[in-house]
């Protein structure tokens, strides 16, 4: 069985906050890094959330907290993650390439040829410093709650990678209701591992992931002295499969998706256009999923499919409610006016279905244990995926979904607001990425990007500070033409240089050859210009070769 089939597919109103000052805050230049004037930082990461899955990016899902955040700040409409979870998180916290950070591939399905190789350790390595390590050395309190997915070995736990206070799910996914359904703490291969300040713990019977992660984040922030600046990372597992949500929230969305996935995509594209996030070049791009795939379903199957999307929407709704709780806590404790907030998703929406994961024994075991009846969908003993068609709607208006290095798999919603961000209800279409988060936060905090952290020499940060995008006289670009950005995952390769994107996706996932797209004219990646622009193609291939050599990429 090919690597593609065994690995790539299965892996893949301001008064509400009291934000009068928050919305117009400008950059703070701290006299002493880590001192009282240093800005707090709140980093919020959603899990498998699509580009158009929140209201500020065109969704019909109720996300008032995130929408208000966008109104008070800046939407980054061209922000990119890696195609899957753990590589993104390694880039996000290190500010550099996922191979350098040790996550050149997902660790869930072992590949013997990668054992012991540089860049494929399957955990975040000591070659890089995490943002938490850098900020903690500078005097910050560092707090994490939620998904970690950067290594199961103790030396790679968040408590040993810079987080003074942490509650973490070590794996990439879990039962959102904890031990009340499949995956109970039986020591089986999918039993989730939670650690609280470095000590393995169980979770209570009333556990629901988004609620509990938020409870823990707030509780641990309460341990921080009021005068100490804090870096807090809230890392949700919503809306990652299995799709599960409180029953009352699922019922809130009953009937909203009865028109099917093609209708949803069309509605979202129109909202994106009204919001100014896309223009006419994008409207006709990639019409899949088409209406026929929905119309061919029987009434019973339509009901099941619509319910899956209702659960997904409920998970996003719950996540947003909890984001509002954290913002309110910061406001109540007097920290909000001196806080920089960044919200992102870790990759595009997950289009996989159960059979894509059946090669993983633990997933097969839990799926077979689950109760798949309609009335149980979304409950603790259910195991629901929503599949490629809803995911294609969630990645509107782009092509592809999680696990693919296309725009739909990697371009994600991103919002910045608060300290350092003077633009309100604004949009930047500059190319940006998860590697830019570390230098951005350090710039706002007035901290140098040191080559030595906690007594060890670490790899250089390769991302760029996004601060030039944040002011009223903002730059329109961070990376200029002639500064190619390359990365790789699971044999998929990409180089971006200005508006040009060179792309290689192995067959049958993609064309099995280098393709070239001009994203300024073709953001949906529909017109391959590789043969028409041979000089540009060769220039970017050469850039890829330089990157692959420096990052020690194993080209498959």
Query: Which residues lie below 8 Å from residue 302, measured CB to CB, with a gap of 6+?
Result: 258, 260, 294
Catalytic residue at 165? no
- Hey, how many other C-beta atoms are within 10 angstroms of the C-beta on 451? 12
Options 149, 165, 389, 490, the catalytic residue:
149
Give the C-alpha separation, 21 to 316, whole Å.
28
Catalytic residue at 149? yes
Query: Of 381, 393, 406, which Cα lies nearest the Cα of 178?
Result: 381
Cβ(73)–Cβ(466) below 8 Å? no
- Hey, how many other C-beta atoms are within 10 angstroms of the C-beta on 64? 15
Burial 242-270 (b: 16+ CB within 10 A, else e): bbbbbeebbeebeeebeebbbebbebbbe
Determine if the peptide bond prior to 199 is cis (ω within 30°): no
Query: Which residues lie below 8 Å from residue 373, measured CB to CB, with a gap of 6+?
Result: none
Read off the DSSP letter of residue 33: T
> Strand 141-147's sheet: what is its strand order?
199-201, 194-196, 165-169, 141-147, 230-235, 40-46, 339-345, 414-418, 74-76, 426-428
Q: What is the DSSP string of 296-327?
A: TS-HHHHHHHHHHHHHHHHHHHHHHHHHHHHH
Options 85, 174, 240, 490, the catalytic residue:
85
- Residue reference for tokens 């208000």: 68
Catalytic machinery residues? 85, 149
């Amino acid at each position: 069985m090919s690597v593609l089939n065994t690995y790539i597919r299965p892996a893949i109103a301001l008064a509400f906050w009291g934000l009068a000052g928050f919305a117009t805050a400008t950059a703070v230049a701290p006299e002493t890094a880590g001192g009282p004037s240093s800005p707090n930082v709140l980093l919020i990461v959603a899990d498998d959330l699509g580009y158009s899955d929140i209201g500020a990016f065109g969704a019909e899902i109720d996300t008032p907290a995130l929408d208000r955040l966008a109104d008070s700040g800046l939407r980054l409409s061209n922000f990119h993650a890696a195609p899957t979870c753990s590589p993104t998180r390694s880039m996000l916290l290190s500010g550099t390439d996922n191979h350098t950070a040790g996550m050149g591939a997902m660790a869930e399905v072992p590949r013997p040829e990668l054992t012991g190789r540089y860049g494929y350790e399957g955990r975040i390595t000591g070659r890089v410093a995490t943002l938490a390590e850098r900020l903690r050395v500078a005097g910050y309190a560092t707090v994490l709650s939620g998904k970690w997915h950067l290594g199961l070995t103790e030396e790679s736990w968040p408590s040993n990678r810079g987080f003074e206070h942490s509650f973490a799910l070590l794996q990439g996914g879990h039962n959102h209701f904890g031990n009340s359904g499949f995956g109970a703490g039986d020591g089986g291969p999918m039993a989730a591992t939670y650690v609280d300040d470095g000590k393995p713990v169980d979770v209570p019977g009333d556990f629901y992931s988004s609620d509990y992660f938020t409870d823990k984040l707030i509780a641990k922030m309460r341990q921080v002295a009021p005068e100490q600046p804090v870096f807090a990372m809230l890392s949700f597992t919503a809306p990652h499969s299995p799709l599960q949500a409180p029953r009352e929230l699922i019922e809130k969305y009953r009937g909203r998706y009865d028109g099917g996935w093609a209708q949803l995509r069309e509605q979202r594209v129109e909202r994106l256009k009204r919001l100014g996030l896309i223009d006419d070049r994008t409207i006709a791009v990639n019409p899949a999923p088409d209406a026929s795939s929905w119309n061919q379903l029987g009434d019973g199957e339509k009901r099941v499919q619509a319910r899956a999307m209702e659960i997904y929407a409920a998970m996003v709704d719950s996540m947003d409610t909890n984001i509002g709780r954290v913002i309110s806590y910061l406001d109540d404790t007097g920290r909000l006016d001196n806080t920089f907030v960044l919200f992102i998703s870790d990759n595009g929406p997950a289009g996989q279905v159960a059979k894509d994961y059946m090669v993983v024994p633990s997933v097969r075991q839990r799926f077979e244990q689950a109760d798949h009846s309609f009335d149980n969908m979304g409950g603790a003993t259910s195991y629901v995926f929503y599949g490629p068609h809803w995911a294609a709607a969630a990645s509107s208006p782009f092509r592809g979904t999680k696990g693919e290095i296309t725009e739909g798999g990697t371009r994600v919603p991103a919002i910045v607001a608060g300290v350092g961000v003077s633009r309100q209800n604004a949009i930047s279409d500059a190319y940006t990425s998860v590697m830019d988060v570390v230098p951005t936060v350090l710039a706002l905090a007035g901290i140098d990007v040191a080559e030595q952290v906690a007594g060890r020499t670490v790899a250089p940060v390769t991302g760029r500070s996004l601060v030039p995008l944040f002011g009223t006289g903002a730059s329109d670009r961070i990376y200029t033409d002639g500064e190619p950005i390359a990365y790789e995952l699971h044999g998929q390769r990409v180089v971006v240089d200005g508006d040009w994107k060179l792309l290689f996706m192995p067959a049958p996932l993609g064309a099995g050859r280098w393709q070239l797209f001009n994203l300024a004219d073709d953001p949906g990646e529909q017109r391959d210009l590789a043969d028409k622009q041979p000089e540009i193609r060769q220039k970017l291939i050469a850039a890829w070769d330089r990157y692959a050599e420096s990052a020690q990429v194993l080209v498959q």
